[in-house]
Amino acid sequence: MANLSQEQWWENAQADANAVILDVRTEEEVEEKSIPGAINIDIYQGQGFLDEIEKLDKTKSYYVYCKSGGRSNQACLLMGQLGFDSTFNLLGGITEWEGPIK
């Protein structure tokens, strides 16, 4: 797991052919604004979150974000315990995001 600034996070995600952008916020938060192309799995779903994460391809690189960086950091740690080797946390989350949104 690595904590990346938004510039590093976005540049790496765009250059990585195996990149998956993962939003771990609630559906309500996602509806307000989100990063284009992100898949949403709400970390507050507890076991449901873990079940959905287990379905993901562990060979991909996951660029994870939330509102401010706390939940995404937790998600990256959990994913590491589940065998994911490449997870990248967006420092500051979408609150400080200045890149594209939808």
76 is catalytic: no
The helix (run of H) or strand (run of E) holding residue 19 is strand 19-23
SS3 16: coil
As a whole number of angstroms, the distance between CA 2 and CA 17 comes to: 18
Which of these is catalytic: 66, 76, 79, 90?
66
* 45-62 exposure pattern, b = at least 16 Cβ within 10 A, e = fewer: eeeebeeebeebeeebbb
The residues annotated with a catalytic role in the active site are 66
